[in-house]
Amino acid sequence: MNLTLSETEDKYRRIFTRLPYPIFVTDRKGFFIDVNIACIEFLGYHNREDVIGKNVIEFYVNPEHRDRIVAELKKKTDVRWFETFLKRRDGTVREVVLSIYTLRDKKGKIIGYEGILDDITDIRKMQREIENAAKEWRETFDSMIDGVMIVGEDKKIKRINKVFAELFNSNPKELIGKPCYSLIFGKDKPCTVCPQKRLLERGGSEIWDEHLYHLNKTFHISMSLIRREAKNAQFVYVFRDIEEFLDTKLKLKKSQFLLNQSFRGITLAMAKLVEQRDPYTSGHGERVSVISERIAKEMGLGEENVEGIRICGLLHDIGKISVPVEILNKSTKLTELEFKFIKLHPVTGYEILKNIRFPWPIAEVTLQHHERLNGSGYPHGLKGNEIIMEARILAVADVVEAISSHRPYRPALGTEVAMDEIKKGRGLLYDPDVVDRCLSLYQRDALGI
């Protein structure tokens, strides 16, 4: 089909007018001669006539950019992809890419310019947002206190943060692309049991502690599946170095152990100190300690309480330190006054122990271990529940041991007699439950004496 010159002109005018990109023609001084609809709209006008006759310079945010374009166009036919800012009629500023071509007469003299622009404001904004988000993500990734590694389904390391590279004493660039099994486990083949397989099957995450022998470090590792698209799964591993923590934990355990040892040693030394003055009752504290401990366990008391009762057994007679040796070792019946001396030992013991901060009521038990259920005991004549449970246990253990053993004023009476004594006093002098437990232990030959 042959078009006439006029038809061809019409065709190109239609294309020019309807093209969605702003296109304009100016004279050599920059006054608009022609603009298409997209250009009119871009500049913020409604009619072609409103734009024609205006100068492009008034739309430049940086007029020197226009001068640079014109200067360059004196040397060449076009300036392409020039980025600048244009101000629209309502004052809003848009970021654009300009391409300007010269229009020359037959002699080559510039008579005007043709331009096309692309509004890249939204694209640039989006780009900046993406760049900022990427920067923010990278900074967050690198500022984490844990080592983070992202591994693909092909088991190759895709990404790591700074801490991760430090944990593995490596250069970040060297680690990318390395197989995870080679870096983590120092192996040259994938692991037979790989947690990645499990996660691919059921999703979720896994947490475990692992000592890496080739690094001599222990890590707390967590691992999650972060994408499950076909053939594009990735796994994020978080590594926390717990070597120092384990070391501290071990040191703490060791120092606790030493502290407990010293505490037991001091307690025993205190008990021995008293018993040295009274050779007839030597070992009384240790035996009461064993009986009390067994009864407490039999009663189902917790580990901590049992330990407290054991200590009470050792220290309950510490107040006897203030009783004259002659009275302690007297082989004949005590006078009333001498007995009064003896009866002071729970209070003296309490005074000695009350300012030591034990985790158990040692001072109270020492004070109450001669109290009896019906109020006939000493020093305060407490009754029933006024006497704490630990003291009720100790009272039974103390009597059983004393009757079973030799005393300066009489030979050992034996455990059978001791059992009869507590049976008689059951519910009257001694706690019935404690008595029952003690008898049960005796019948099973488990009293420890």
The one segment of 16-24, 116-124, 165-173, 311-319 that binds Fe ion by CB under 5 A: 311-319
Determine the interface stretch with Fe ion among 32-40, 293-301, 314-322, 436-444 (rule: CB under 5 A): 314-322
Contact positions with Fe ion (CB under 5 A) in 366-395: none
Choices 71-79, 315-323, 328-336, 355-363; region in contact with Fe ion by CB under 5 A: 315-323
Cβ distance to Fe ion smaller for residue 241 or 390? 390
Please state, in angstroms and rounded to a whole number, the distance separating the CA atoms of residues 443 and 280: 27
Question: Please, what is the minimum distance in Å from the beta carbon of residue 251 to Fe ion?
Answer: 41
- Is 278 among the residues that bind Fe ion (CB under 5 A)? no
Whichever of 110 and 347 has its CB closer to Fe ion, that residue is 347
Distance CA(207)–CA(203), nearest Å, equals: 13
Closest CB to Fe ion among residues 317, 390: 317
Q: Please, where are the H alpha helices in 154-302?
A: 162-167, 172-175, 180-185, 195-202, 243-276, 284-298
In the range 188-227, which residues lie near Fe ion by CB under 5 A? Answer: none
CA angle 110/114/117 to nearest 5° reads 145
Least distance CB 395 / Fe ion (angstroms): 9
Q: Give me the least distance between CB of 345 and Fe ion, in Å please.
A: 6
Q: Do you know the residue count of the chain?
A: 449
3-state helix, strand, coil in the chain (%, to 5): 50, 20, 30
Helix (H, G, I), strand (E, B) or coil at 114: strand
Name the residue number minimizing CB distance to Fe ion.
Answer: 317
| Residue among 238 and 274 whose Cβ is closer to Fe ion | 274
Give me the amino acid identity at 160: I
- Beta carbons of 441 and 447 less than 8 angstroms apart: yes
User: What's the token pair of residue 322?
Assistant: 């203030």
Q: If we measure between CA atoms, which residue out of 350, 342, 434 comes closest to residue 384?
A: 434
Q: Among 317, 371, 390, 401, indicate the residue that binds Fe ion (CB under 5 A).
A: 317
Is the Cβ of residue 16 or residue 378 nearer to Fe ion in the bound state? 378
CB of 394 to Fe ion, least distance (A): 9
Tell me the helices (H) and strands (E) count for the chain, helix number first: 19, 10
What span, in angstroms and rounded, lies between the C-alpha atoms of 384 and 33? 114
User: Which residue number, 298 or 317, has a Cβ lying nearer to Fe ion?
Assistant: 317
CB 365, min distance to Fe ion, A: 11
CA distances from 286 to 106, 200, 280, 292, 319 (A): 124, 62, 14, 10, 16
To the nearest whole angstrom, how small is the minimum distance from the Cβ of residue 377 to Fe ion? 11
Q: Across-strand partners of 227?
A: 234
Which of 276, 440 has the CB closer to Fe ion?
276
Taking contact as CB under 5 A, which single stretch among the options 9-17, 128-136, 148-156, 310-318 is the one that binds Fe ion? 310-318
Q: Name the residue nearer to Fe ion (CB basis): 80 or 340.
A: 340
Binding part of the chain for Fe ion, among 109-117, 178-186, 241-249, 316-324 by CB under 5 A, reads 316-324
- How big is the site for Fe ion, counted in residues (CB under 5 A)? 1
Min dist CB 342 to Fe ion, Å, is 8
Locate 2 and state its tokens: 């042959």
Contact 194, 179 (CB under 8 A): no
Helices 243-276, 284-298: inter-axial angle, 10-degree rounding: 130
Give the angle subtended at the CA of 98 by the CAs of 72 and 61, to the nearest 5°.
90
Select the span of 33-41, 73-81, 84-92, 312-320 touching Fe ion (CB under 5 A): 312-320
Query: Which residues in the 74-113 window bind Fe ion by CB under 5 A?
Result: none
Q: In angstroms, what is the minimal distance from the CB of 216 to Fe ion?
A: 57
Smallest distance, Å, CB 398 to Fe ion? 6
Q: How far is the CB of 320 from Fe ion (least distance, A)?
A: 7
- Contacting range for Fe ion; rule: CB under 5 A; set: 132-140, 206-214, 217-225, 309-317: 309-317
Nearer Cβ to Fe ion (94/370): 370
When the beta carbons of 317 and 421 are compared against Fe ion, the nearer one is 317
Q: Scanning the structure block, which residue is given the tokens 């079973």?
A: 404
Which whole-number Å values give the CA distances from 180 to 149, 192, 235, 292, in the listed order? 9, 13, 11, 59
Cβ proximity to Fe ion: between 65 and 354 the closer is 354
Name 187's Cβ contacts closer than 8 Å, sequence gap at least 6: 181
Q: Least distance (Å) from Fe ion to the CB of residue 256? A: 32
Q: Which is nearer to Fe ion, 241 or 275 (CB)?
A: 275
Tell me if the bond preceding 379 is cis, omega within 30° of 0.
yes
Taking alpha carbons only, the member of 194, 188, 243 closest to residue 215 is 243
Report, in Å, the least distance between residue 206 CB and Fe ion: 60
Please give the residue ranges that form the binding site for Fe ion (CB under 5 A).
Answer: 317
